[in-house]
Structure 1
Amino acid sequence: MASFEDFKLNKQLLNAIEEAGYTIPTEIQQKAITPILSGQDVMGIAQTGTGKTAAFVLPILMKLKYAQGSDPRALILSPTRELAMQIEENIRSFSTYLDLRTVVLYGGLGPKVQKEQLAAGCDIIVATPGRFLDLYLEGEILTKGLKFLVMDEADKMMDMGFISKIHRILEIVPRKRQNLLFSATMSELVRKISGDFLAFPTVIEVTEQATPAKTVSQRLYEVPNLKTKLNLLQHLLQDDEAFHRIIVFCKTKTVADNVFHYLERKYGQDHVRVIHANKGQNTRINSINAFKEGSIRILVATDVAARGLDVSNVSHVFNFDVPIVIEDYVHRIGRTGRAYNQGDAITFCNPAEKYYVEKIEKLIRQQIPVEDVPLEVFVEKTGFEERQAIAREIDNQKKKEDPDFKGAFHEKKYALKNNGRSKSASKAKSTKKPTKGRSR
């Protein structure tokens, strides 16, 4: 496929594609656009950063062509508001010369403005499942005109527990429609929902399931504790030129805030931002926009931002913590190496996280190269509480693999208990009065 012109897209779309800087279709676009244009249901499996959004947006725009009536004709479902906003941004970019109206619906904001936009009429709705259902049940959305239903990042949708909401949505949309499902990984829940959702689909798998993009190089550092992770992060970030646009992923809001405050003290508040579920919607949007524009160098985030954060030229992704939901590893590192650019993914792993690294390596069917911690990095001594937490986590992992495993803590407790008993017994024995022997 030489160019987008080979898809026989109209002139308005081709002009918008050219202005957006797209020249050659990616593999998923080459394989998906033609069957979508011909009206087939499509299931696309491709890692993030491969141009999935354009693969379904372009043929939908081509088939809708112009504004018509006041009710939506296409519904695109997204697991997170960040991804919903990203998809809407793509639609707006590609529909520059088309008379099509798009509304994006997500929670975290009052629904008043969204209701007004719906009342004014729209052709495409991009929505998170919860907010879409809320507004539908309030009578703000009529679904009888829907011709397209798209589920993007279906695996994340399932991980976040949206399966019941998806089934509810499937009950209220017309039976006669074209369905498109896109996902980076193929879990059992995705297989299940695809059976309910798609009719004899064309399956497009541009790479093996859960394979990281070829443009992303990976490396792993085995680090004993949190403080040493911070020391290593600071050491690597000294190279301003190489590490010019960085996302640091953490598994909890508390760790994200701690890492943010540490980096803020080192580099100043004008260079670092943090986003997680406790941050207000406007704060998150402003932080992401500042990162996209290049006015901040480092974005610290929980997995809430792992999907839908489409920023060009992210030089490095750091997994400050190894993700427990192992599929999230693929999505995290997919934030770099996008659109044929090279990127680096660096993972820090403490002894309790090796368990998840092994599972990730099985998922991606490759080993992550291990590098030595540089000699310049000070390796801190692991504190008592962190040492105990790591030991407990390793115990829990062993119990998962072997239900009969009692655990080091159990054995220690048992030993202490028995030791206590033997001490009491010996003490009682020593305090017992000796009996006088009878003389013969």
Structure 2
Amino acid sequence: MKDAVLTSRLFITSRENLSGMLIFATLVMALLDSFALAELTSAASLTAWGFVALEFSRLTHKQRLPIYLLLGAGTLFAAWAWWAGAHFSVMDLLSEHLKLAMLLAAVNFIRLSTRLHTASGQPGMRSFVTTLGGMHLLSSVANFSSMLLVGEQLKRDARLSALSSIILARGFSLAVLWSPFLSILPLVLEQVPGTSLHSIYPFTLGLALFGLFFTLLDARLRHGTELAHYEGYPLTRATLSLPMALIAAILTVSWLWPSLSTVAVVSLMALTTPLLLLCLRNGPTSALKQGASHILNRLADTRGEISLFLSAGFLAAAVKACLNAGLFSLPFTDTSPHVAVLVMWSITLLAHLGIHQFALVAIFAGMLADVTTSPTQMAIAYIMATSISMSGSLFSGVNFILQARFNCTGRGILRTNLPYSFMMLLAATALIYMMQLLGIH
């Protein structure tokens, strides 16, 4: 019996090691390809899908179900397009979201240099504000790890209070609006023609600030008694210096060299910065050992997101093949504020019904790419719908963590976040129509 258990553990470890090497090879080859140093799209796509195949059995049922649906629908659309004589290759389907797989693998390295340092503070409003702000900034680079790191410090008796769940859910989801290290902004930059980081930022940052302000007002009005005695987990500047430095570096590079791919720049910095910090702290030998250990033992943790994004890209590419073949047409030939608002509300509603918001954005953006005449408005719609769905939908990764790890109830999550979700949708709707009046498309 002991031999069987040992053999099983060795098999799991060796598979995890191979998976880590496959996705790291994907990351390196995709980076070289993105910077036009080598033509490696096909090779990187094959290693990426090899990683998905190797790790698929380790996904949970909830993770596998949308992937089955995406791949199944993509296969049907691809078969329809092929039958109608459309010209496309299998590699066109497999490589659609390769750069996003590269980004997700690269961002995973940031956890190597993420450390929490707490500051002392008095309970109450100030503690809530500083904890929310720290969580928001940490989330911008640490992804879902931030929820686990901060959530473990906020839970009491294995549960989170209403205010603590608000900090985790909204602190994270509002960072989605502006952080290039989270998935949706790079997806939009890649999928929506005519967009740029600097054209989107004034509006997404404004919406993030509005969301934070509304959260403070909401906490005071609906949770005033708890707020008066709230003990949070304020983070120090030492913890938040890495996120702020990385974001500043990305903005500087995109301003100085706008022709560079934002996704490629973000991926390169996410990979190299933690390793450089480890070199400075512990020396190059220790940094290389930690980096190698991370590749072999932790990099495969990206299996869920990478599998989902590649599957969504497969479907999006198949749908585009059908559109190019003229098999069906869209009900409009250009985009407008009405289209942007309709898409934003539709994605939010469908995500609340259980369809993953990233897959929805990939599908809508893929279908509308050739008719998008107001790219900034459409980008705001996609990003905002994703942010709202991540905090409000019971099927989002954010709320899965709240329910599974911190014992929050679905009813409690909905009661806490529905007013916020509705208000953010109204604010984004008003912003999109205001952009049209100002001539910003």
Q: Mark yes or no: TM-score above 0.5.
A: no
Tell me the TM-score normalized by structure 1. Answer: 0.27
| Rg larger in structure | 1
Q: Which has the higher contact order (CA 8 A, sep 6+)?
A: 2
TM-score, L = length of structure 2: 0.27
From the two aligned structures, give the one with the greater helix fraction.
Answer: 2
Greater strand share, structure number? 1
